[in-house]
Structures are given as C-alpha cells and as structure tokens.
C-alpha cells in the first residue's frame, strides 16, 4: 500500500515562504510603483498595466516599512488613489488584471488560473478571438513575472520543519482507511505479518530507521495483529511501527524546490514529481487551467480552435512523462492521498478526479491550517473543494478522513 502526498502552495507558505498569488500581486504592483516614482519614469507599460504621468510631478510613496506590510488589498487601494488623480496620472488595467483585482476586492484572495478560465469562457461565448489572443498573451506575461518573483522568494534557504517531515513519512493509521477499503487494509497488514524479517528490515532502512526488534517483539506484533485481523480486537499503537507505506510519491504542484528538501536522502527511492514543472526549467512550467469535467470546457472543445486550448493543463501534461508516471504509480497498488497545502480547487480538477475516484484510492486525508487570530481552521474549505473533484458523493464521504482523525500541517 502506497501514499501520494499532494503538495500545494500552502506547503510552501507553511515553510515560511511568501509564495501565494496575493504575495505575487503585491510584488508586481510595487515593482511598477518603484519604476515610475523612484526612478522617475513618465511611462510604464506591459501586458497588464499602463501608467502615464501627465505632469512633471511624482507622487510620494508610503515609507518602505509601511509598504513591507502591504497585502494585496493595500497595493490595490493605492492604485485606486492614484487613478482618482486624473489630472496627474492616466492608469489603464487590462481586463485580466481588472478581474484579478476584482477577486481580491470581493474575496480577499485570488486564484489567477481560475480568473483566466472565467475570462476565457466569456470571450469564447461572444466569439471574441482577438480578446482571447490578448488574454493568452497576458497569461504568458504573468507566468514569466511569477517565475521571476518565485526565484527571488526561494533564494533564501530556510530550515525545514521536522513535524511536517514526520507526517509525510509516518505510518498508516487504521482510522484513516475508508470503509470500503478495509479489505485492502487487512491484506496489507497480512502481508506485513508475512514479511517481518528481511523484506521488512529492507523497507525500514529506506526510512532511515533501524527496526532492531527482538524475537519477543516480533511475537507480540503477530499476536496483536492476528487478534485484530481475526477477532477485531482493539490494539495499541504498536502496530504502527510496521504499517509504513511501501512507497511514497511526493506530487508537487508548486514550481519551487522546497518539497525536494524533505526527501529522506538524495538517493531516496521515494519519487518526487514536479507535475507543473520547475523554476530552474522555465520551459517546463505549466500555468493555466485543468477542469475537463466542467460543461464549459466541453463547449470550448467543440469550437475546434486550438487557440482556445493553449493553456489547458491536461494538454500541457503531454509535453513530459510526469503524468504517465503518476498514472503508473496509482495503477501499481492501493494508495492513500495526503493533502498538504493544496486547495484542491477546480484548476487541477482533471488530475485530482483521476486520483480521488480511482479504484485503488483507500483514503484522502487533508492537513489543515489554523488561523490563530480568527480561531478558525480551513478543514471544511478543503473538504468542500475536494467534493467538487468527485462525481460520486457517496464515495467522497467514505474516502475523506473525518476531521477528528486529521491534524494541522504545522502546529
């Protein structure tokens, strides 16, 4: 039995890197302000934004210590302040940037890929091919700027969090397993009983652990597991010492190499797949949308225009063998899914549906974030998003681990 760890942006954030889209928007807008006001340039123009100074005067920016505290809404408010001074400044936002700003103002957060897809569907519905071409150019520009930003952010090396590593490479827990997968779970434990010698010692070494059990320990394990398997008798946590996954795949949806720092050792046999590409290989970066289950996507396909499908993830996956490697892994054995920092939003729905509804999936366990100021966690948000990746709600309710058995990604 294996494990797949879905690593999303929240994973990087938990490791103290400011890699969210909100962080990126602040950086991008501040870069524009610095170019105009600090360097005294009368004109700034790119695919998203244009600022023109109409008079020979420059606004005074807030102090840097204040700007360091900016969130996306603060940077946007400053631009709105400038836009109101129409005699001094002329500011134009592209429809794409306007949509992003609207998301920040209405929701407090932004999903750039989702906003792109919404605009794409609108433009297609009215047959505006010119707007679609410009929208794709805007997304390409955003991708380039995002890569530039992330390269700056992850340049600083920080210590990894051992508690996160312990969770990634921890043993299975019986309460996590779906009801319909209990048979597979029992078979897994039976195989472990049969391999408490050389095979299991080899597995243990792959986790950098020394099993070192005595014959009496082995006898206790067997008695305990036999009572559980044959008689349903409860047992203590000792079984967890022999319930480590046979294999673990880190499925990284981020472009950063932060997940790489969590590998047990450089020659680890546990695979790490950058499903959306890596920062150090910009050509490999996949940035777009992937929801083939959406009715609007089917309408896009029916239009029979390749320009409409330029940034659809499921098509971009064909440019490497990463997707096939994932499929090979899920077909090889039963597996559990850990959700670590991935929102499970619709922008990755095609791939997530393949994993979540696969016949080999035995459970889906979200690791949630707690906002200490608001005294609120995001377990329900994650589960709601997970549910949208299912077509069978009964299956979803069985496979998603109940909150009482889940835990924070980082305390």
pLDDT digits over 348-389, tens only? 999 999 999 999 999 999 999 999 888 899 999 999 999 999
DSSP, collapsed to helix, strand or coil, labels residue 28 as helix
Q: Looking at residue 267, what is its pLDDT? A: 59
Q: Looking at residue 385, what is its pLDDT? A: 96
CA atoms within 13 A on the CB side of 373: 0
User: Using one digit for the tens of pLDDT, what is the confidence trace for 151-165?
Assistant: 999 988 889 999 999
pTM, two decimals, is 0.94
Mean pLDDT (whole number) for 181-190:
92
DSSP one-letter string for 145-187: HHHHHHHHHTTS--PPPHHHHHHHTPPP-GGGS-GGGHHHHHH
CA atoms of 361 and 364, how far apart (whole Å): 8
Residue that the structure tokens 């050509």 belong to: 283
Strand partners, 1: none
CA atoms of 236 and 13, how far apart (whole Å): 35
CA atoms of 367 and 167, how far apart (whole Å): 10
**pLDDT band at residue 205 using 50, 70 and 90 as cut-offs:** confident
pLDDT at 56 over 80: no
Q: Looking at residue 199, what is its pLDDT? A: 73
DSSP one-letter string for 350-400: HHHHHHHT-TTEEEEEEEE-EETTTTEE-HHHHHHHHHTT-S-HHHHHHHB
pLDDT at 11 over 60: yes
Q: Looking at residue 162, what is its pLDDT? A: 95
Element (H, E) at 53: strand 49-53
CA atoms of 30 and 68, how far apart (whole Å): 10
Q: Is 88 exposed, middle or buried (0-12, 13-18, 19+ CB in 10 A)?
A: middle
Rg of the chain on CA atoms, in Å:
25
Sign of the C-alpha dihedral computed for residues 289, 294, 296 and 301 taken in this order: positive
Q: Residue 78 corresponds to which tokens in the numbers above?
A: 């400053």
Q: Looking at residue 238, what is its pLDDT? A: 55
**Cβ atoms of residues 340 and 6 within 8 Å:** yes
Higher pLDDT, 77 or 215: 77
Q: Looking at residue 237, what is its pLDDT? A: 55
User: Using one digit for the tens of pLDDT, what is the confidence trace for 73-127?
Assistant: 999 999 999 999 999 999 999 999 999 999 999 988 889 999 999 999 999 988 8
Strand partners, 339: 6, 366
């Amino acid at each position: 039995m294996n494990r797949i760890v879905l690593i999303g942006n929240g994973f990087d954030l938990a490791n103290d890197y400011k890699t969210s889209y909100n962080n990126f928007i602040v950086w991008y807008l501040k870069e524009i302000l610095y170019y105009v006001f600090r360097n005294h340039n009368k004109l700034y123009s790119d695919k998203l934004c244009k600022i023109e100074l109409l008079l020979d005067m420059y606004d005074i920016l807030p102090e840097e210590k204040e700007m360091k505290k900016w969130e996306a809404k603060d940077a946007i408010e400053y631009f709105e302040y400038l836009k109101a001074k129409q005699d001094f400044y002329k500011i134009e936002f592209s429809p794409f940037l306007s949509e992003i700003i609207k998301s920040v103002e209405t929701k407090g957060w932004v999903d750039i890929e989702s906003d792109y897809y919404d605009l794409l569907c609108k433009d297609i519905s009215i047959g505006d091919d010119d707007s679609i071409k410009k929208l794709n150019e805007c997304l390409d520009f955003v991708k380039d700027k995002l890569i530039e930003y992330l390269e700056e952010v992850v340049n600083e090396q920080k210590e990894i969090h051992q508690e996160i590593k312990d969770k990634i490479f921890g043993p299975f827990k019986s309460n996590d397993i779906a009801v319909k997968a209990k048979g597979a779970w029992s078979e897994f434990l039976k195989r472990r009983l049969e391999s408490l010698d050389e095979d299991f010692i080899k597995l243990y070494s792959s986790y950098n652990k020394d099993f070192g059990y005595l014959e009496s320990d082995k006898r206790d394990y067997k008695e305990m597991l036999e009572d559980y398997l044959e008689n349903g008798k409860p047992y203590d946590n000792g079984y967890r010492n022999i319930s480590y996954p046979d294999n673990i795949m880190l499925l990284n949806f981020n472009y950063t190499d932060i997940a790489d720092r969590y590998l047990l050792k450089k020659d680890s046999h546990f695979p790490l797949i950058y499903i959306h590409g890596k920062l150090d290989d910009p050509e490999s970066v996949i940035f777009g949308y992937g929801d083939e289950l959406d009715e609007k996507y089917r309408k896009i396909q029916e239009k029979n225009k390749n320009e409409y499908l330029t940034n659809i993830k499921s098509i971009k996956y064909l440019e490497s063998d990463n997707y096939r490697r994932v499929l090979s892994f899920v077909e090889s054995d039963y597996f559990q899914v850990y959700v670590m920092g991935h929102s499970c939003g619709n922008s990755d729905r095609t791939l997530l549906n393949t994993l979540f509804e696969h016949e080999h999936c035995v459970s889906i366990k979200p690791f949630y974030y707690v906002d200490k100021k608001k005294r609120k966690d995001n377990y329900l948000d994650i589960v709601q998003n997970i549910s949208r990746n299912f077509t069978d709600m009964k299956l979803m309710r069985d496979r998603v681990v109940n909150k009482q058995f889940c835990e924070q990604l980082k305390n």
